[in-house]
Amino acid sequence: MARSLRTKDYLKPKEVAGLLRVEPGTIRLWTQDGRLRATTTAGGHRRFSYHDVERFAREHAIELPTRSGDALRVLVVDDDKRVARMVRSMLIGEDPELQVEIAHDGFAAGQAVEKFQPHIIILDLIMPGVDGYQLCKTLKDDPATVGIRIIAITGDPDPKAARKIVRLGAEICLAKPLKKQLLLEAVGLSVAARHAY
């Protein structure tokens, strides 16, 4: 997948979104604020060189897929075993090639991060011991793990919780009970992201 994109002179925004595992709208925002360099065709369409995308990923500690067979690795961290299994089922039901592992507390999550090396962590905020806030901060403070995308989930209706975890480095905070489409969009498995190639 990534190797075939390397052979192209310029990539479309959806292709870049797929490589960086974000929604196309995020690519548009990064381009508008000057963080990601793009050229514009005569028809007014944005195009990106693979070199620029690779440099952007390196500067922001984002791991690009290296082989066409690379599967997206997702770690689900939730002390509620039923919720963790449900999230895993939602993801694999949408893309059977995903590699999904589950941890039920912060300590087990730390071990899984080291061994499994996830691209994305779906992280419950309220857990016994090391909670989601502490784990998120630890991961984002470590240069070895700062590039892991974190999608927070919580049953706490207080919007302050969502703002706090986003400040600590999470991309978004989704409310429980989880809505499947919102989860898939956050991970990058929405229809738009799946057709990025």
Same domain membership, residue 136 and residue 43: no
What is the per-residue pLDDT across 121-142, written as a single tens digit (0 to 9) for each? 999 999 988 899 999 999 999 8
Q: What's residue 197's pLDDT?
A: 35
Secondary structure in 3-state letters for 60-113: CCCCCCCCCCCCCEEEEECCCHHHHHHHHHHHHHHCCCCEEEEECCHHHHHHHH
Same domain membership, residue 16 and residue 38: yes
Same domain membership, residue 105 and residue 24: no
Q: What's residue 24's pLDDT?
A: 83
If you search the block for the tokens 């600590």, which residue do you land on?
A: 168
Stated pTM of the model: 0.66
Q: Does residue 54 lie within any of the structural domains?
A: yes
Q: Does residue 16 lie within any of the structural domains?
A: yes
d(CA 180, CA 1): 26
Give how far Cα 58 sits from Cα of 40, 96, 178, 186, Å: 23, 28, 32, 22
Q: How many domains does the chain have?
A: 2
Domain that holds residue 78: 73-188
The DSSP secondary-structure symbol of 119 reads: S
Same domain membership, residue 181 and residue 101: yes
Tokens encoding 156? 């706490």
d(CA 63, CA 40): 26
One-letter amino acid for residue 84 of the chain = A
Same domain membership, residue 155 and residue 124: yes
What is the per-residue pLDDT across 63-83, written as a single tens digit (0 to 9) for each? 776 544 457 899 999 999 999
Is it the case that residue 2 has pLDDT exceeding 50?
no
Q: Does residue 68 lie within any of the structural domains?
A: no
- Write the burial class of residue 87 (CB in 10 Å: 0-12 exposed, 13-18 middle, 19+ buried): buried
